[in-house]
């Protein structure tokens, strides 16, 4: 009896201890989990010296991914020789870039113990293949692979690269996740062949990138057909299911390349080649299509796929203060000193879209007898197309107008990079219905005619080389009637009318506050970076003088920020 009571007491104590131990352990596990979760994913950090990063990825191996990466990098350098291009091979187990780029030396180290990329065809290259003996297998577990990848990401001296093409290993494993979590990726080019097995794996890869909010630039289809050596007929040996794939996942085929003997031979015997465009038997037109604006646009999207900017139209009569209102907005948001490639707010003038004049019209313009305030003076089709591209998140190039010679500057354009907010100002921005409907907000700067004339006279004489009689005649014969007939009636389309222009500080502050809210709430892949940028905008000083920001020249005349 005593023994049974004693055992019951022991087991009772053991049960209590077990319960308390399990509870304590679970509490500790939860605390540990919370600590781990609070750390979050690794913070993205750009590679030093690299402006834009493009991944080249494939689900399966052997589909021509490295071939595409090599040709994309050499094509970018060929099409845009002024750009600095790099190629990073992140395939630790099977690096092929050394063979294809005909580079087999060991990289030198800088004073800071950074590896210097090897260069061929004008492209800077780095590969794990440069660090191991040729033909030696890499028999490593995951941790060592990640350490090698970290070395390739952070211990290379790229020294100012515009575009870094990253050749990734097949699949969607640790390497891809490490790259995505640690680097700001601008876009990915998917590579596949028409076989169903390859397409199925490519589809999974595309879903992964979409889930991780990485913009997919498009798909490259290799071995799409086989060219008959006798009759040069294209034969679809591997099927034609690629079109179905791109429709299912809503991406674009950048280019389809046939399978032919010279392509394979060039890859294996690259040391015989003398130039990049001889290296692989792709047509230059195809390379240009792959490396042209699609890639350039993607690299300026700051990680936001299909980012639609908030488009604000700013209309008003000549010299009403439209440009100055836009200037004040840019100043208050702290955007003037920001590099043009990184601005969240940009400003474009309708003056850039004057149409080309005929010789007789130029002769009339030189005498002050051409009506530049008439709708026919503008290229409204180009305005619409340009704003449509901007709303699609694309980088655009717009003409630069020469006021003194009444013509567009030859071989000179202004590049506008994707931004969150775009200001489009001009006298007739609301006149054309197809253009007007594109704006999310419409502002009209309303200033009395005497003030506008007083501003226009010194501007045209000092900046544009006119004489007083010419300015007054043009104003009375063309500017004033055109304002009353074409510009003033568009005031009814405005969401906000700003009396007194830039002197109306209350109205401008309200507009700036609205733009700040837009910028703060923009959807982005990297919310921390956007929040940081938004906080800078919220803390931007509204009182800093224009001259300190470089907006006013020595003559005291406002210079457009773009």
Label residues 285-318 b or e (16+ Cβ within 10 Å = b): ebbebbbeebbbbbbbbbbbbebebbbbbbbbbb
Ordered DSSP codes for 337-386: SS-TTT-SEEEEEGGGGBPPPPHHHHHHHHTT-S-TTSGGGB-HHHHHHH
Q: Kindly give the pairing relationship between strand 216-227 and strand 253-259.
A: parallel
Report the C-alpha gap between 334 and 132 in whole angstroms.
Answer: 49
Domain 50-298 and domain 310-549, same fold? Reply is: yes
Ordered DSSP codes for 317-331: STTSSHHHHHHHHHH
Tokens 């406002």 identify what position? 558
Q: What is the pLDDT of residue 259?
A: 73
Q: What is the pLDDT of residue 261?
A: 64
The gap from C-alpha 406 to its chain's centroid, in whole angstroms, comes to: 33
Half-sphere exposure of 524 (CA within 13 A, CB side): 24
Count the residues in the chain: 562
Tokens 């921005």 identify what position? 429
Q: What is the pLDDT of residue 370?
A: 92
Q: What is the pLDDT of residue 560?
A: 35
pLDDT in tens, 281-292: 343 444 455 555
**SS3 at position 459:** helix
Q: What is the pLDDT of residue 277?
A: 36
Q: What is the pLDDT of residue 266?
A: 55
Q: Are 294 and 531 in contact (CB under 8 A)?
A: no
Q: What is the pLDDT of residue 15?
A: 53
Tokens 């500080």 identify what position? 505
CATH numeric code, 50-298: 3.40.50.300
pLDDT in tens, 444-502: 999 988 888 888 888 888 877 788 888 888 889 999 999 999 999 999 999 999 998 88
Q: What is the pLDDT of residue 267?
A: 54
Q: Is 274 exposed, middle or buried (0-12, 13-18, 19+ CB in 10 A)?
A: exposed
Q: What is the pLDDT of residue 347?
A: 94
Report the C-alpha gap between 273 and 259 in whole angstroms.
Answer: 19
Residue ranges of the chain whose pLDDT lies below 50: 3, 7, 10-11, 14, 17-18, 21-22, 24-26, 29, 34, 36-40, 270-287, 300-306, 524-562
Q: What is the pLDDT of residue 428?
A: 96
Q: What is the pLDDT of residue 125?
A: 93
Q: Are 278 and 265 in contact (CB under 8 A)?
A: no
Q: Where are the domains of the chain?
A: 50-298, 310-549
CATH numeric code, 310-549: 3.40.50.300
């Amino acid at each position: 009896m005593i023994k049974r009571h004693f055992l019951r007491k022991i087991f009772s104590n053991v049960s209590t201890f077990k319960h308390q131990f399990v509870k304590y352990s679970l509490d500790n596990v939860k605390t540990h989990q919370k600590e781990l979760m609070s750390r979050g994913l690794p913070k993205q950090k750009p590679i030093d010296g690299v402006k834009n990063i493009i991944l080249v990825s494939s689900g399966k191996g052997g589909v021509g991914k490295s071939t595409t990466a090599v040709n994309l990098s050499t094509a970018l350098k060929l099409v845009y020789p002024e750009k600095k291009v790099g190629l990073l091979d992140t395939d630790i187990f099977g690096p092929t870039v050394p063979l294809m780029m005909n580079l087999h030396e060991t990289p030198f180290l800088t004073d800071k113990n950074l590896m210097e990329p090897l260069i061929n065809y004008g492209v800077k290259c780095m590969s794990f293949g440069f660090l191991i003996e040729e033909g030696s297998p890499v028999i490593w577990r995951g941790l060592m692979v990640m350490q090698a990848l970290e070395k390739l990401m952070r211990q290379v001296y790229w020294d100012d690269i515009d575009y870094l093409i990253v050749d990734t290993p097949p699949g969607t494993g640790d390497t891809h996740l490490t790259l995505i979590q640690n680097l700001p990726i601008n876009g990915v080019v998917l590579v596949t062949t028409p076989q169903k097995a390859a397409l199925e794996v490519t589809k999974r890869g595309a879903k992964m990138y979409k889930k991780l909010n990485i913009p997919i630039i498009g798909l490259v289809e290799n071995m799409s057909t086989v060219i008959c050596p006798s009759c040069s007929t294209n034969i679809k040996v591997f099927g034609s299911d690629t079109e179905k794939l791109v429709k299912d996942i809503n991406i674009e085929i950048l280019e389809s390349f046939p399978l032919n003997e010279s392509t394979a031979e060039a890859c294996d015997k690259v040391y015989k080649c003398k130039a990049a465009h001889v290296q692989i038997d792709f047509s230059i037109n195809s390379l240009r299509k792959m490396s042209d604006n699609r890639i350039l646009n993607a690299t300026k999207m700051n990680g936001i796929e299909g980012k639609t900017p908030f488009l604000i139209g700013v209309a008003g009569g000549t010299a009403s203060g439209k440009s100055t209102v836009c200037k004040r907005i840019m100043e208050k948001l702290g955007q003037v000193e920001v590099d043009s490639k990184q601005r969240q707010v940009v400003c474009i003038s309708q003056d850039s879209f004057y149409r080309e004049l005929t010789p007789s019209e130029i002769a009339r313009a030189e005498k002050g007898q051409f009506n530049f305030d008439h709708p026919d003076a503008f290229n409204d089709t180009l305005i619409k197309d340009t704003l449509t591209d901007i709303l699609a998140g694309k980088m655009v190039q717009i003409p630069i107008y020469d006021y003194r010679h009444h013509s567009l500057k030859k071989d000179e354009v202004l590049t506008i990079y994707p931004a969150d907010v775009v200001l489009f100002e001009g006298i007739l921005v609301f006149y054309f219905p197809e253009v007007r409907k594109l704006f999310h907000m419409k502002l009209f700067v309303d200033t009395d005619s005497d003030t506008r004339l007083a501003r226009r006279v010194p501007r045209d004489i000092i900046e544009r080389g006119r004489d007083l009689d010419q300015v007054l005649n043009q104003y009375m014969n063309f500017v004033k009637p055109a304002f009353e007939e074409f510009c003033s009636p568009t005031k009814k389309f405005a969401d906000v009318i700003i009396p007194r222009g830039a002197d109306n500080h209350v109205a401008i502050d309200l507009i700036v506050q609205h733009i700040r809210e837009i910028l703060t709430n923009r959807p982005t892949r990297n919310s921390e970076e956007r929040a940081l940028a938004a906080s800078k905008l919220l803390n931007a000083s509204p009182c800093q003088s224009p001259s300190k920001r470089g907006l006013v020249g020595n003559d005291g005349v406002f210079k457009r920020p773009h």
